[in-house]
Structure 1
Amino acid sequence: MKALLPLLAALPLSSFLLPAVAPAPKYAVADIPAALREGAHAVLRADDEVVTVKSAGRLVYAVHRVVTVLDAAGDDQGRHSVSYDALHALNYLRGAVYDADGRLLHQLRAAEIHDQGVGDAGGNFMTDVRVRYADLRQPQTPYTVEFDYELTVDNALFYPDFQPQDEEGLAVQSATFKVTTPAALPLRYQERQLPKGAAVARSTAAGQEVYQWELTNLPAVEEEEAAPPLAYTTPAVVLAPGAFEVQGYKGTAATWQGLGQWSYELNAGRDVLPPATVAKVQALVKDAPDARTKARRVYEMLQGSTRYISVQLGLGGWQTFPASSVASNGYGDCKALSNYTTALLAAAGVPAYVALVGAGSDRPDLRADFPSSQFNHAIVCVPLAQAGKPDTLWLECTSQTAPFGYMGSFTGNRHALLVTPKGGQLVATPRYGATENRLQRRLDLFIDDKGGATATARTLRTGQEQDLYAQLMHELGPTDQKKYITDHLKLPTFTLTKCNLAAAPATGAPGIVETLGLALPGFAAPSGKRVFIAPNLLSRLPALPAQAGERQTPVWLSDACLHADTVRLHLPAGFRPENLPAPVQLSTAYGIYSSQYAALPDGGVQYIRRLEMKRGQFPATAYAGYLEFRRKISAADKAQVVLLKTES
């Protein structure tokens, strides 16, 4: 034995270690129920979210998330990002990836986590927001990713929400939500679309209240045509504070009045203008005949002397720059520019208020029955009176080109929180219906005797129908405008020979006039002695796909509009209309449609089409009727005029 000691001493230490034991497999794809794989691109195996409220000003939010990516369409689930800033400290971000059998492939290393400032990519940002980002996507599916992270939040105005099924094609195997809060800070929550048996379980221990929810085995959902956003169709729990505190500023979100009061007091005293600015405003409006004219002049001054930047610096997300700062520097974010505008209007003798709003063309209205901070933008409300009647004016202060008093699809058709000395008041922004949202087009189609055609089209768009085209006109040059319009014209073969966008004369809702010239080779190719022409070149409304299975969601028609088209066919010598389509008249709860054709004294043909779409929300059973309405419109829009070549 002693003789062996020198030999044993010479051997490396590793010779005595047992072979490394691989971690036991977990999250094997085979363990996913077949019903959850059906129609899914990814399956959320576990989503365990824990909120621990420490005080009125602090909470901790921890997340454990495991997702199996089934195919390439679910690949985005293989990466994860977490944002943080001065009020949100990211304590850790961890990750791992597993193969189809649940064997560990890779543990995320610190060096593989990317950290980037939100403003690093350029743009008008003044922000301390940063993002940590990890990418564990694999070249082959299926695979499973696991992420863990924790945030300490010193902005208790916002509590995390729980909606694990937030994407189409994502099934949920297991998701839990646990909230612990001091009994002195009772939780405000709203349960939405929860399945039976998933309501909250509550308990109390050591002065703490505990709320828990659990969701299991939710099949993947497919977004249906004309459906509400997923936020209105999949299970969710939304939280909000009662009493809260942000960097020493205390408030309550239990009522709209209280939330508005906090915002008002947070920004009180920041509306003082330099004396020179006050004098400039007073000189500007001294001969104005009424408050609306004063407001218009102030708004034009604002647009000509300021620009927008985004400010997200700690409390700066809610507390405005002083008006004097905007006056000196010529820039500000939505809050600062709105606050500055109310100060300018006050100097002009026109009372106005800042209003908080959830902005976005596709953003649904706020949930009025659950007071909470549902806002991402600030605008200005100017209460006026014309002939003794209310005539409220609304101003978008971040745009140098927005028409005076126009909100459009970005902030119109929804509610906003008016911030007044007496607190918050929920009010409606302007409603834009079919009267305002119009498209009026006159198209002349000239057919030649060789089978080709040319066309000229003049289109007036107003209200929300002009929003996109106003953006094109102000932000793109003529070449890029032409390219965009060319790319979006749904014609088989054509050349755009003329393209022009111009502001329409001011007559109510703002408008854009689009003038186009088109060359259409082969458009009217003869078939023997006849030519078949579909006069509706630019306004065809496609049919919708048939519903696969039973409709699950309500029918939401979010925009009202009126489209009116007049098309004239100018025929070459030797041709006459042989057959004109029968007129069509449709009247439903979803809209009204008509089309008619007439032979003209000069030998041509006139086609008139009118479509009014209505805004509304309907039960799921209404989809069959809406589908049929769209099918009939599509068929009518494809109708053809038959031209006959006469004997020479």
Structure 2
Amino acid sequence: MRTFLSLLLAGTGCLLLPTAPAWAYGPAPKYAVADLPAPLRENAHAVIRRQEEALLVKSVGRTVETTRRAVTILDEVGARWASELVYYSSLNTISYFRGAVYDAAGRQLRQLRSQDIHDISLSDGFSLATDARGRVADLSQPTYPYTVEFEYEVVSDNPLFYSTWRPQPVEQLAVEQASFKVTMPAGMALRYQEQHLPAGTAQAKRTQGSQEVYEWQVHDLAAREEEADAPPVAELTPTVFTAPAEFEVQGHAGHLSSWADLSRWTYDLNAGRDELPPAIKAGIAALVQGETDERAKIRKVYHFLQANTRYISVQLGLGGWQTFPASSVAANGYGDCKALTNYCKALLGAAGIKAHAALVKAGSDEQDVLTSFPSSQFNHVVLCVPLAQSARPDTVWLECTSQTNPFGYMGGFTGNRHALLLLPEGGKLIPTPRYGAAENRRERLANVFLDVNGDATATLRTLRTGLEYDGVSGLPGLELAEQKKRISNRLALPNFTLNKVAFKHSGPEAAVPSLTENLALTMPALAPPSGKRVFITPNLLSRMAPPQATVGERQTDLWLDHAFTQQDTVVLHLPASLRPEQLPAPVQLTTPFGTYSSQLLTLPDGSIRYVRRLVMPRTRFARTDYPAYLEFRRKVSAADKAQLVLLKTDA
């Protein structure tokens, strides 16, 4: 039976054909991979198709950040962009979190559903209390390429941190288009600093009603190829840093036009929280009584701290900046980095020694703060103790969160960077201890006993100091099986059995900590005979790999970021029937990139001693110096592989 509508249309002479509604076909395709310009796919694992970031400053106490990002993922390596983690806490609220995924043709496969978003704790696993959490979503697909799109908004009552815009944060990521907008209320100034912006992308400022709007845009950024020994990518790609000139966190107002401003605000926030119980004061006074050496007093107080406290992170709201009172740490025996540093400062005060807390950007892989742009770039607190009685200006630095850290040692976690002293009048940036080639040493002595069949036994003693010590400092505390496993993975020997392991730490007076490792090994078939000859490479332990071949012109500066000294001595104890046919010529290389030497000598008892020494600086060179650096590396690698030929005298 025909409907009234069909009869009406028929009566007017119109023919109505059945058609599916528009929604049945889904949203119109977008982000089709075929639309990507070919240059953006070169050297890229992923391409940002569109990224819009906006910071709306509502007041000195509130900001709103919105992000919308669409990324085409070209292969498995680029799949990291298929997931998104949005942070929140008691001071940061997520307003919305949306997303969708599209196939290669740009057709939407599905939208992000609530059940796809997982709420996770961002606790470090040993925190007593933390409100740091995140919402994470994953839109990974089994077939490449595809495109993911995420959009979210975060309202923050923590305006000490403004956005940092890095549209191209990693290598092998291209950018089709990206923008950044900051909207400031009337009367509030935006502080910003630009780095490595392409020509024509400097900020555009306009007035919108009573607000000031700042905008940056980039487009068609080709992927940067990853290069060996290059500076961090953050130093090479476009970046805009922003920060407030004034702010307020939970009623605590401050200014931020200089490092002194940030220092003063943080100091005032923590002032008056270093009072100790009378019993603790009396105990510290007794601990240092009769001690006349200032450094020795500090060491005793530091060891008291390590023996009586433990680190537990507490980050609740303002607790990210304001410490527990010292009396609380004394009563409970725990605290976070701020609380333990404040407690140690109070303990030293009871011993008559003045100390200052200092903010630092900690992490073994972290770069130094941007010293030219005062802003909140820190994540850790340490203690700085000037030595008032020293004949020359000197300072002791204390890491207060560790029960095992050697006295006065910062290591790779907080060394070789700047820290901000917290002073009532406002502090300044000062350098933390520097660890260069003289401090970062690895010295080895190997005695290798070779028999007529080419089998060998050996003893190996290795001393590591400074940053070389960092990677092995925890070995003595492990089970023997785990010790052997880690040591075996590190030794570049073809076939061996580890029979004995022993360790010895440096004494408490050492300026830089060290660990001595003693090993006993069996090495079957180390140098099997070949006719009348035996071939052996004397450099058993420290061969530098040849440099990778370069394709095309070098794009970045050469950045050698780890200074060190390596010295190896290998003594080959030979049976009476083996004597050297000829010793390889000594090698001596002296270049701006490092110095190298290797030499073999026959000793009076018939053994052969091999000595190798390599010293590398921590410095930067122009990209035009890269071929000369590769040549240095090639010569070192060749010298490291030089073979010693032994003759059988009884053959």
Normalising by the smaller structure, the TM-score range is over 0.9
CA distance, structure 2, for counterparts of residue 71 and residue 17 of structure 1? 36
Match for 1:435 among 432, 435, 438?
438
Match for 1:631 among 630, 634, 638?
634
Cα deviation per residue 1:228-254 (whole Å; 9 max; x = unaligned)? Answer: 111101111111111111111111121
1:405 is the counterpart of 2:378:
no
Partner of 1:11: none
Question: Is the contact made by 2:294 and 2:389 (CA closer than 8 Å) also made in structure 1?
Answer: no
Partner of 2:340: 337
Provide structure 2 residue ranges, at least 5 long, that are not aligned to the other structure: 8-17
Partner of 1:487: 489
The count of corresponding residues between Structure 1 and Structure 2 is 639
Partner of 2:67: 63
1:360 is the counterpart of 2:363:
yes
**TM superposition shift of 1:187:** 0.8
Question: Is the contact made by 1:341 and 1:397 (CA closer than 8 Å) also made in structure 2?
Answer: yes
1:110 is the counterpart of 2:111:
no
CA distance, structure 1, for counterparts of residue 559 and residue 76 of structure 2? 30
1:546 is the counterpart of 2:549:
yes
Partner of 1:564: 567
Match for 1:95 among 90, 94, 99?
99
Question: Is the contact made by 1:478 and 1:500 (CA closer than 8 Å) also made in structure 2?
Answer: no
CA distance, structure 1, for counterparts of residue 563 and residue 602 of structure 2? 32
CA distance, structure 2, for counterparts of residue 635 and residue 233 of structure 1? 33
Q: Which moved more, 1:600-609 or 1:381-390?
A: 381-390
1:589 is the counterpart of 2:592:
yes
Any idea what SS the aligned residue of 2:412 has? helix
Question: Is the contact made by 2:502 and 2:518 (CA closer than 8 Å) also made in structure 1?
Answer: yes
Structure 1 residue identity aligned to 2:495: T
Partner of 2:533: 530
Cα deviation per residue 1:133-158 (whole Å; 9 max; x = unaligned)? Answer: 11100011011000000000111110
Partner of 2:394: 391
1:239 is the counterpart of 2:242:
yes
Any idea what SS the aligned residue of 1:389 has? coil
CA distance, structure 2, for counterparts of residue 291 and residue 325 of structure 1? 27
CA distance, structure 2, for counterparts of residue 184 and residue 519 of structure 1? 75
**TM superposition shift of 1:559:** 2.0
CA distance, structure 2, for counterparts of residue 27 and residue 123 of structure 1? 43
CA distance, structure 2, for counterparts of residue 472 and residue 149 of structure 1? 44
Q: How does 1:170-249 map to 2 (within 5 A)?
A: 170-249=173-252
Match for 2:459 among 456, 466, 469?
456
**TM superposition shift of 1:6:** 14
Match for 1:504 among 503, 506, 526?
506
Q: Which moved more, 1:244-253 or 1:497-506?
A: 497-506
Partner of 2:54: 50
Provide structure 1 residue ranges, at least 5 long, that are not aligned to the other structure: 9-14
Cα deviation per residue 1:475-524 (whole Å; 9 max; x = unaligned)? Answer: x3222121111122222222222222331334431100111222221110
CA distance, structure 2, for counterparts of residue 548 and residue 63 of structure 1? 37
Partner of 2:141: 138
Q: How does 1:595-614 map to 2 (within 5 A)?
A: 595-614=598-617
**TM superposition shift of 1:386:** 4.6
CA distance, structure 2, for counterparts of residue 382 and residue 326 of structure 1? 20
Partner of 1:303: 306
Q: CA RMSD in A?
A: 1.8
1:445 is the counterpart of 2:459:
no
CA distance, structure 2, for counterparts of residue 317 and residue 625 of structure 1? 48
**TM superposition shift of 1:5:** 7.1
Partner of 2:14: none
CA distance, structure 2, for counterparts of residue 312 and residue 471 of structure 1? 27
Match for 1:278 among 281, 289, 292?
281
CA distance, structure 2, for counterparts of residue 61 and residue 6 of structure 1? 51
Partner of 1:477: 479
Partner of 1:12: none
Percent of aligned positions that are identical: 58
CA distance, structure 2, for counterparts of residue 188 and residue 501 of structure 1? 52
**TM superposition shift of 1:17:** 7.7
**TM superposition shift of 1:306:** 0.4
Any idea what SS the aligned residue of 1:470 has? coil
Any idea what SS the aligned residue of 1:586 has? strand
CA distance, structure 2, for counterparts of residue 603 and residue 53 of structure 1? 78
CA distance, structure 1, for counterparts of residue 32 and residue 390 of structure 2? 72
CA distance, structure 2, for counterparts of residue 390 and residue 6 of structure 1? 96
Match for 1:74 among 51, 74, 78?
78
Any idea what SS the aligned residue of 2:473 has? helix
Q: Which moved more, 1:209-218 or 1:428-437?
A: 428-437
CA distance, structure 1, for counterparts of residue 549 and residue 220 of structure 2? 27
Question: Is the contact made by 1:322 and 1:336 (CA closer than 8 Å) also made in structure 2?
Answer: yes
Any idea what SS the aligned residue of 2:223 has? coil
Question: Is the contact made by 1:394 and 1:406 (CA closer than 8 Å) also made in structure 2?
Answer: yes
Q: How does 1:404-423 map to 2 (within 5 A)?
A: 404-423=407-426
Question: Is the contact made by 1:125 and 1:310 (CA closer than 8 Å) also made in structure 2?
Answer: yes
Partner of 1:641: 644
Partner of 2:258: 255
Any idea what SS the aligned residue of 2:165 has? coil
